[in-house]
Amino acid sequence: MDKNLALELVRVTEAAALASARLMGRGDEKAADQAAVDAMRKTFDAIDIDGVIVIGEGERDEAPMLYIGEHVGSKKGPSIDIALDPLEGTTITAKGGYNATSVIAVAERGSFLHAPDTYMDKIAVGPEAKGLINYNDPVPVTLKKTADALKKHLEDLTVCILDRPRHDELIKQVREAGCRIKLISDGDVSGAIATCMPDSPVDILLGIGGAPEGVLSAAALKCLGGDFQGKLHFRNDEEKERAKKMGIHDLDKAYTLEELAKGESILFCATGVTDGEMLKGVYFTGNGAITNSIVMRARTRTIRWIKAVHHFDFKPSY
């Protein structure tokens, strides 16, 4: 894939971020998400790709746009698979919270696991611990391996976990191991990426979150040199049947990074919607807005931070 494609894709996440950021703190999750979806879908039309959504807003009968299997782009460019989340952190945005982003990952056809819309139990670590984690290890063993790789005492290790009742036992185990915990309300893609950032307080991400977000996290960590493992966590038999229809037959399989995001053709980009550790959110000025994005390539491990100034036509409201 043309390396310049990554810069084109930033326009897509910028558009989604700008649209949804206008609804920050308005208390309407659906409206914020819909604004991001509409803007992202429209912007795709101007990009020279023949793209197929493999991780998106749901199946066709559930999502009118950016549904799994939808073709996007001008059809004039490379044939690629697309994993996306127009607004990762709908609740965050609706409440004016911390760490909402718009996210896209693309790769050659067949590179991403076609994950159903269910949960995934995840482990994410940075480059220092790559190759050391094993999903089947007990939590204390995983924490010890990560601490040793980072040359840290367990008491200094920081574990990122979604703040959910389902994680009560996990939190108990992490506390018994003596580790620090950073609880987040949403946005575990950003939490996974944070494990790879040298100035981040997060060392490892653990716990159950969305499976589509797991694939996006794996794509990002592939670009950053980190590691990721995950196992699908089904809530009911209906989700299991949907997984089988999508080609997943071993429902108990623990997936490695390479099985979730194959090859070196992966591009990843994200734009901040609200302020976070990785990216600043959209800032509206008198005649426009400022966005902050990150763009990554797995092949070269290049990371670019892009600050863009957008100009709007101002019309008085009186």
Amino acid in the structure at residue 305: W
- Closest by CA to 116, choosing from 230, 264, 265, 269, is 230
Question: In terms of domains, do 157 and 242 share one?
Answer: yes
Share of the chain above pLDDT 70, in %: 97
Question: In terms of domains, do 100 and 159 share one?
Answer: no
Question: In terms of domains, do 140 and 59 share one?
Answer: no
Q: Are 277 and 200 in contact (CB under 8 A)?
A: yes
What pLDDT is stored for residue 168 in this prediction? 97
Backbone angles phi, psi at 255, to 5 degrees: -90, 140
Question: In terms of domains, do 234 and 305 share one?
Answer: no
Question: In terms of domains, do 162 and 224 share one?
Answer: yes
Instruction: Tell whether 236 is covered by a domain.
Output: yes
Question: In terms of domains, do 282 and 206 share one?
Answer: no
Question: In terms of domains, do 37 and 124 share one?
Answer: no
Residue 252 CB neighbour total at 10 angstroms: 6
Cα dist from 164 to 65, 184, 186, 228, 306, whole Å:
29, 9, 10, 21, 33
What is the side-by-side order of every strand in the sheet holding 119-125? 180-184, 158-162, 204-210, 119-125, 227-233, 254-255
- Closest by CA to 16, choosing from 220, 307, 293, 266, is 293
Instruction: Tell whether 316 is covered by a domain.
Output: no
Instruction: Tell whether 317 is covered by a domain.
Output: no
Task: Take residue 304 and report the two structure tokens written for it.
Answer: 């670019």
Cα separation of 124 and 231, whole Å?
12
Q: pLDDT band for position 64 (50/70/90)?
A: confident
Task: Take residue 102 and report the two structure tokens written for it.
Answer: 């718009």
pLDDT in tens, 216-247: 999 999 999 999 999 999 999 998 998 898 88
Question: In terms of domains, do 148 and 245 share one?
Answer: yes
Q: Last residue of some domain: 216, 235, 257?
A: 257
Q: Mean of the pLDDT values across residues 279-290?
A: 94
Question: In terms of domains, do 100 and 23 share one?
Answer: yes
Instruction: Tell whether 73 is covered by a domain.
Output: yes
**More confident site: 117 or 105:** 105
Instruction: Tell whether 239 is covered by a domain.
Output: yes
Task: Take residue 94 and report the two structure tokens written for it.
Answer: 């609706």
**More confident site: 242 or 23:** 23
On the question of pLDDT at 163 being above 70, the answer is yes
pTM metric for this prediction: 0.93
Instruction: Tell whether 210 is covered by a domain.
Output: yes
On the question of pLDDT at 49 being above 90, the answer is yes
Question: In terms of domains, do 25 and 103 share one?
Answer: yes
On the question of pLDDT at 126 being above 90, the answer is yes
73: domain CATH number? Answer: 3.30.540.10
Range of the domain at 157: 119-257
Question: In terms of domains, do 247 and 137 share one?
Answer: yes
- Closest by CA to 152, choosing from 218, 201, 223, is 201
Q: Last residue of some domain: 212, 237, 257?
A: 257
Question: In terms of domains, do 107 and 165 share one?
Answer: no
Q: Are 255 and 230 in contact (CB under 8 A)?
A: yes
- Closest by CA to 234, choosing from 242, 223, 222, is 242
Q: Last residue of some domain: 257, 275, 291?
A: 257
Domain count, the chain: 2
